[in-house]
Amino acid sequence: MRRPPRSSSRACTRSWTARVPRSESPLRNPPPVPPRLRPPSGRAMPARGLLLTLLLLCASANARQADTAPPADAPPPSAQSLPEPPSTPVAEPPPPDDDTGADLPPPTVRLPAGSGVIEVGGRLSVRETVDSRPDKVWSGRLSLPATRLEATYRFKKKIKAVVEFDVQDGLKDAYVWLDLPRGFAIRAGQFKVPLSLIELESSRSLPLARRGLLRDVLRDALVLTGRRPGAQLEWKCKDCAVDLKLRAGVWQTGNDTGKVDLSKGLGVVPAFRGTLTLGTVELGASALLQPAGAIDGGSHTGWTAGLDVQHELPIGRGALRTWGEVLVGRTELLTGLEGPFLTARALTGWRIGGGTRGALFVEPFVMLSALDPDRTLHQDLVWEGALGLNVGQFRHWRLQAQAEVRKAGDAVPAVVTSLEDNLASRKAVLLQMEVAF
């Protein structure tokens, strides 16, 4: 078919129209149906799918580059200032009685709260105890020694508020910590009296299933340690070459009612503690004064003072951890005796593995404890030995087995054995499962 000449558009139109039959004119008949497309062969489908995938990946990469690329009028990278790190609140260096040590799990939930942050965590322990008293009758008991929930509010490095609640024992910690200039800080509420190193340490960082003899003596029987309402002034030397910390405060008395006749004092118990850290060794000294009337029915002044040491020695993929303490004093509940009492405790554990959250670890440990209720008497010593094993995932869960043997001397005064039934001779085996969250 010869194309019409290009000299005239009208002639071109007539020539083209004349060659098209009237029956096939596009003005009178509907447009022709387009031909049916044949599906591609099976060999072409994978190739096209692969090509489409590559295109999508390239497009995604280009989009990310476009999002991260600086604008055209932006200064060169050398002239740009480095981005500031996010203003995440950072906790102040915790004292030994805080539950924020290196062996403790991070909080499960971290929620923003204005300019601060709220951290929520807890732990659950299930324990089976089988023990034998002097009557040599073995008995077993299943218990929940810890069902804790803890909430902590932090505002930068200035304010911290902690509330810890145990489902069975009720309120544990409830205090506010406030940072002050020149290294000072103040803490007020309910928290631990700073007297014994091992009593101050969180049970989650200790390898023990329970603290044993001296927990029964110092906290339950003599009412020297434990949590009480009080106020504490803290100081940390920021210009010293060594880590030096001091704290002093007053706490409510150990009376059941918390009330004391004003003729016997203000009804508060003062205490002091200082620590000095030299590398991996921490040295500590503490003292506590029990004014007359600090304990129900008492009229004499008591006192307690002690020295302690803590050390962590890295060994391969683990660490050898050691705690030791000695306390001496006179207390209202033992005024019938002539001399001062003496307590001593040493604990060491070798942790193999761990180090990072979720890493498997094994930690055998051994502890020796002793109580001499009267230094002027003989054959009145009460001692206890414990050994055990921890197996689990670091800062997540652990299974603990612990065996204890306690012996009391033949000349132990009746005033000592009447303080607490647990001070008598016994043997015990404990199996405990602990989960931190």
Which domain does 272 fall in, by range?
A: 109-436
68 found inside a domain: no
User: Given this model, what pLDDT does residue 156 score?
Assistant: 87
22 found inside a domain: no
163 found inside a domain: yes
Number of H helices, E strands in the chain: 5, 17
357 found inside a domain: yes
46 found inside a domain: no
Specify the 3-state DSSP secondary structure of 52: helix
Specify the 3-state DSSP secondary structure of 224: coil
User: Given this model, what pLDDT does residue 417 score?
Assistant: 74
398 found inside a domain: yes
Strand 281-290 and strand 302-315: the pairing is antiparallel
User: Given this model, what pLDDT does residue 264 score?
Assistant: 58
d(CA 214, CA 382): 10
Distance set, CA 110 to CA 152, 158, 396 (Å)? 9, 18, 17
Distance set, CA 432 to CA 5, 241, 258, 334, 429 (Å)? 103, 42, 34, 34, 10
The CATH code of the domain that includes 127 is 2.40.160.10
9 found inside a domain: no
88 found inside a domain: no
Q: Give the other-Cβ count within 10 Å of 280's Cβ.
A: 12
54 token code pair: 């590559």
Q: Which residue from 251, 248, 301, 240 is spatially nearest to 276, judged by alpha carbons?
A: 240
Q: Give the other-Cβ count within 10 Å of 293's Cβ.
A: 22
Q: What is the pLDDT along the chain (437 residues), one digit of tens a residue?
A: 455 555 444 444 444 444 444 444 444 555 555 555 454 444 444 544 444 454 444 444 444 444 444 444 445 444 444 445 444 444 444 444 444 444 556 667 888 888 899 999 999 999 999 999 877 789 999 999 999 999 999 998 899 999 999 998 899 999 999 999 999 999 999 999 999 999 999 999 999 999 999 998 998 888 899 999 999 999 999 988 899 999 999 998 866 555 666 655 567 899 999 999 999 999 999 999 988 766 655 667 889 999 999 999 999 889 999 999 999 999 877 766 667 999 999 999 999 998 888 899 999 999 999 999 988 888 889 999 999 999 999 999 999 999 999 998 888 877 777 766 667 788 999 999 999 98
Distance set, CA 58 to CA 54, 209, 246 (Å)? 6, 57, 61
Domain count of the fold of the chain: 1
